[in-house]
Amino acid sequence: MPSTNLVLIRRRLLGWYENNRRDLPWRRTSDPYAIWISETMLQQTQVKTVLPYYQTFLKAFPTITELDRAPLQHVLRVWSGLGYYRRAENLKKSASELMRRHGGTMPRDYESLRALPGIGDYTAGAILSIAFQKAYPAVDSNARRVLGRLFNMAGAKQLRTAAEELISKSNPGDMNQAIMELGATICLPAEPLCLLCPLAAHCRVHSGSEASKKPASRKTLKLTNVTWPLAIIRRGEKILLRRRANRGLLAGMWELPGGEKPGNDGTLITLRRHLQEIGPLSVVPLGIGEIRHSITYRRIRAPIFLFDLTGTDTIELPASNWRWVAPAALNRYPASSMTLKAARVLASYEKSAC
């Protein structure tokens, strides 16, 4: 890449970013802790989803010390609904490492950041460049697409080298954010808005001399359709929740009992299997609706069955990971998003039955 081109591209990108960047709360701070939280939340999650969580999280845990002191269940509760809960667990683990090894501050070097749970190349580069103005690239999926089209390249190594060459030594934080912002608002995955792009004159793909505008794609994740029946077992005003194991999918979250249906099994057979722990239920379940949800590669259809217990039905709770909870108190638990959606279905069923 000729260096004169790089100088021009940098200048155009920074000028465009200055005038067009979205006003986002994490762009109003240089606090490395806040930037770390925002970058973690933004992994595989849209900006509009992250916005309310960012504010609430920082209010609940304004410093590394407070995050370290908080019980994991409290952290998961505040994170509840944002998905990919492993991120919250890693923040907690990292906070304790930061207290132990770094005096409760964010380290300013790449190796120490990369050694923290949940911090990969991208997050380390984002923290170092945005909070500490160090010239490290931060290549997320948006940046990968922009650089891939701009220089017509696809390999991860090539893209990282291009990002390293392009990074501005004097303003690396804005440069990284400018590339990502361009990807999020102009160099869109399906239809790039090249007429509005400040880099059109330099872009190999836009010039038409090279390949199509397809993004420099990594392997696309294959989505699987899954049926996941859920049971709302109700006794009086309360419904039964169970806490998931501390490892694996949705670790530690409170949820309605139920789960993924294996291929040929019947929906109610699957549900009864998930209820085995609490013993047989004589009550006939009533289908009250269904929800749609996505978790990682699963596109879930979750039919909801209401088991309304009468005075004579008894359930012995098998362990402390089962609990009776009033639906109105669900917000005090780190409850899975599917459970919160199902509670809304129950509320509208109740309303329509009145």
Query: Which residues form the catalytic set?
Result: 39
Burial of 222 from C-beta contacts in 10 A (0-12 / 13-18 / 19+): exposed
The type of residue at 301 is: R
- Using CB under 6 A as the binding rule, whether residue 186 contacts ligand SF4 is answered as yes
Per CB under 6 A, 154 contacts ligand SF4: no
Residue 149, interface with ligand SF4 (CB under 6 A)?
yes
Q: Which stretch binds ligand SF4 (CB under 6 A): 52-60, 143-151, 171-179, 313-321?
A: 143-151
Burial string for 295-319 (b: 16+ CB within 10 Å, else e) reads beeeebebbbbbbebeeeeebeeee
CB of 89 closer than 8 Å to CB of 61: no
Q: Binding to ligand SF4 by residue 35, rule CB under 6 A?
A: no
Rounded to the nearest whole angstrom, what is the least distance from the CB of residue 194 to ligand SF4 in the complex? 3
Could you give the C-alpha distances from 218 to 1, 5, 320, in angstroms and in order?
A: 23, 27, 43
Identify the CA nearest to 293 among candidates 221, 217, 205, 227: 227
CA–CA dist 128, 108 (Å, integer): 7
> Contact, 56 vs 44, CB < 8 A?
no
Stretch that binds ligand SF4, among 51-59, 116-124, 186-194, 276-284 (CB under 6 A): 186-194
User: Does 144 engage in binding with ligand SF4 (CB under 6 A)?
Assistant: no
Minimum distance, C-beta of residue 135 to ligand SF4, in the bound complex (Å): 22
DSSP string, 114-178: HTSTT--HHHHHHIIIIIH--------HHHHHHHHHHHT---HHHHHHHHHHH--SS-HHHHHHH
Other C-beta atoms within 10 Å of 273: how many?
Answer: 14
- How many amino acids of this chain bind ligand SF4 (CB under 6 A)? 15
Q: Which stretch binds ligand SF4 (CB under 6 A): 73-81, 197-205, 276-284, 319-327?
A: 197-205
Cβ proximity to ligand SF4, 95 vs 186, nearer residue: 186
The correct pick among 50, 124, 131, 197 for binding ligand SF4 (CB under 6 A) is 197
To ligand SF4, the closest distance from the beta carbon of 167 in angstroms equals 17
CB of 151 to ligand SF4, least distance (A): 10
Q: Does 203 bind ligand SF4 (CB under 6 A)?
A: yes
Nearer to ligand SF4, 196 or 245 (CB): 196
Q: Could you tell me which residues are beta bridge partners of residue 231?
A: 305
Q: Which is nearer to ligand SF4, 212 or 352 (CB)?
A: 212
Q: Is 150 in the site for ligand SF4 (CB under 6 A)?
A: yes
Q: Please report, as ranges, the residues that interact with ligand SF4 according to CB under 6 A.
A: 146, 149-150, 186-187, 192-194, 197, 199-200, 203, 205-206, 213
